[in-house]
Structure formats: structure tokens, C-alpha cells
Amino acid sequence: MYPAPKVRHYKLVLDDTTPSLVITENTDEVHFGVSLRVQNIDDTAIVYVGNADTLTSSEFGIKLAPGAIASFDNLPKYPNIGVLSNTSDSEVTVMRISK
């Protein structure tokens, strides 16, 4: 039998200038093949998802409207995914599923 997947769910409070890392090597046990769900739970803010090293409101991979969800599957062991908002103190939820 295969072990049950590990599910971790948490909320991040975002900044409008400095990206927050979705997964950090020091605190998260991540194995190859991780799946992520990032949901913008703010009523008005726009959330940008992309490479944490280069993420800005004009340089991003995915733009999430309020209530929208982005899904990432089969990510490498420590993906460098960051989130940033167009306003301070907006929130996203992150669900990580790893094997």
C-alpha cells in the first residue's frame, strides 16, 4: 500500500511590494510531485503568482481575481513560487498535497 498523501493548508497575509514564498525549503517537507492550490480569498485585491525572485505586479505568471484559484501539479521538490498583491494585508490560502 502507498502512504496517504500529506495535506497542509494555511493562510498567507500578503504585501504589495515583497513577494511571499508559497513553499520554503526550511519549513516545508516537500517531495517531487507536490500539488499546490492557491486561492485569493480577499474581496477586492488582485493576487499575482510567479517566480518569487522576479515577481512584480507587471512581471508575473498568473493573475488571480478575488475568489479565483490557481492549481499547480507535479512541481519540483522546492518550487520557487511567490505571491504578491496589489494591496497590503490581502490574504490567500494555500493547500499543499505531497506524496
Instruction: Sketch out the chain's domains with CATH numbers.
Output: 6-98 (2.60.120.770)
Select the more confidently predicted residue: 99 or 80: 80
Could you tell me the strand order of the sheet in which 6-13 lies? Answer: 6-13, 91-98, 34-40, 69-75
- pLDDT for 66 equals 97
- pLDDT for 73 equals 86
Residue 84 · residue 57 · CB < 8 Å? yes
pLDDT tens profile 38-97: 999 999 999 999 988 899 889 898 999 999 999 988 877 667 889 999 999 999 999 988
Could you tell me the strand order of the sheet in which 62-64 lies? Answer: 20-21, 81-85, 47-51, 62-64
User: Beta partners for 12?
Assistant: 92
- Whether pTM > 0.75 for this model: the answer is yes
The answer on pLDDT for 31 being more than 60 is no
- pLDDT for 28 equals 53
- pLDDT for 91 equals 95
Cα of 62 vs its chain's centroid, Å: 11
Select the more confidently predicted residue: 20 or 33: 20
The answer on pLDDT for 30 being more than 60 is no
